């Protein structure tokens, strides 16, 4: 494990810091005493190089955590493959280049489990990242993020630029995106179950056949992992962030139904894609390199997420 660096009093830009996961990273940094700046897209369109340069020159950060992204579930990925590839690639590539050029001391790139091959051996190990092509429905997004890893490694080799790349599994928690058109699986299931219960519906419809497995990491735990890596990890080899526990989508629906109180049936729409067959990562490297272990069980995290969603709807 590398020697720990303090972030207290240091200026940190968190791109995407006003979004779901970024807000957790921002809170974790502030608990550590960092001075955090969150750029908003209306002020800094990070797809444009000039905006990236202006952001870094105006804020003069010590560190940047790049958590911004154009993301969504299977449906959103299928509808926007070109946009997801272009915007994620341009944001990340320009941040790495301009951070190097303008003297940022360290950059943390938040990648994605979608970069792994469709049929990677389970659990996914970082060395297997290049053993095949990603699952087709999210390949453009996954490949855009994967190229940032290549850039990070190339820049360390040529310029000595200090950037690191983390690969979190599917994240969830309070403040997640519950829009059914763009949300990921857990918030989508929660909303469907809650609304079905309220409307007296006897069933909900879910995509695929329920057989794929996924691994889920509570966003607050993931944020702790990101900040630990910022403080302790100094290499460009990618590192997984997860729990090393997988669950089938079918079993996940049953858990969500239990925590929301929905007692109806689940209908599986097999005309819709399943996505990647299995997802579960090996988390050994994160523990050995910077001491990260997830602390929130799936049941506890789901309970908190359901409670937040119900409370947020009441407030509206």
Omega of the bond prior to 203 within 30 degrees of 0, cis?
no
Measure the CA–CA gap between 209 and 276, rounded to whole angstroms: 12
DSSP string, 23-53: HHHHHHHHHTT-EEE---TTT--TTSHHHHH
Measure the CA–CA gap between 270 and 247, rounded to whole angstroms: 19
DSSP string, 170-231: EEE-TT----TTT--HHHHHHHHHHHHHHHT-SEEEEES-S--EE-EEEHHHHHHHHHHHHH
Measure the CA–CA gap between 132 and 112, rounded to whole angstroms: 16
Measure the CA–CA gap between 268 and 274, rounded to whole angstroms: 10
Catalytic residue among 141, 155, 233, 309: 141
Measure the CA–CA gap between 52 and 99, rounded to whole angstroms: 9
Tokens 């119900």 belong to which residue? 310
Contact 65, 12 (CB under 8 A): yes
Tokens 């579930």 belong to which residue? 73
Tell me which residue of 177, 209, 194 sits closest to 73, measured CA to CA. Answer: 177
Tell me which residue of 55, 123, 41, 126 sits closest to 94, measured CA to CA. Answer: 55
Is 119 an annotated catalytic residue?
no
Residue 141 makes CB contacts below 8 A (sequence gap 6+) with 70, 71, 77, 81, 84, 85, 88, 112, 114
Residues linked to residue 171 through DSSP beta bridges, in sequence order: 217
Residues forming the active site: 141
């Amino acid at each position: 494990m590398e020697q720990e660096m303090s972030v207290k009093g240091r200026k940190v830009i968190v791109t995407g810091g006003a979004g779901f996961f970024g807000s957790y990273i921002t809170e974790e940094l502030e608990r550590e005493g960092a001075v955090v700046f969150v750029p908003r897209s209306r002020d800094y369109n990070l797809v444009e190089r000039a905006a990236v340069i202006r952001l870094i020159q105006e804020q003069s950060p010590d560190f940047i955590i790049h958590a911004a992204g154009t993301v969504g579930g299977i449906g959103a990925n299928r509808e926007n493959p070109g946009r997801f590839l272009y915007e994620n690639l341009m944001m990340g590539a320009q941040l790495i280049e301009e951070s190097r050029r303008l003297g940022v001391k360290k950059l943390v790139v938040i990648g994605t489990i979608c970069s792994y091959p469709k049929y990677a051996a389970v659990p996914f190990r970082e060395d297997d990242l290049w053993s095949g092509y990603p699952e087709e429905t999210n390949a453009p997004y996954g490949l855009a993020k994967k190229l940032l890893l290549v850039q990070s490694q190339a820049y360390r080799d040529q310029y000595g630029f200090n950037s690191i790349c983390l690969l979190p599994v599917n994240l969830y928690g309070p403040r997640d995106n519950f829009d059914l058109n763009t949300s990921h699986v857990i918030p989508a299931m929660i909303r469907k179950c809650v609304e079905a219960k309220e409307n007296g519906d006897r069933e909900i419809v879910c995509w695929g056949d329920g057989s794929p497995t996924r691994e889920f990491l509570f966003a607050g735990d993931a944020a702790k992992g990101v900040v630990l890596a910022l403080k302790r990890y100094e290499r460009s080899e990618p590192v997984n962030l997860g729990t090393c526990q997988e669950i089938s989508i079918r079993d996940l629906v049953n858990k969500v139904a239990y925590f929301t109180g929905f007692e109806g049936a689940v209908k599986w729409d097999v005309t819709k894609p399943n996505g990647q067959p299995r997802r579960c990562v090996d988390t050994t490297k994160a523990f050995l390199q910077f001491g990260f272990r997830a602390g929130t069980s799936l049941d506890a995290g789901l309970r908190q997420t359901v409670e937040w969603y119900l409370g947020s709807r009441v407030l509206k």
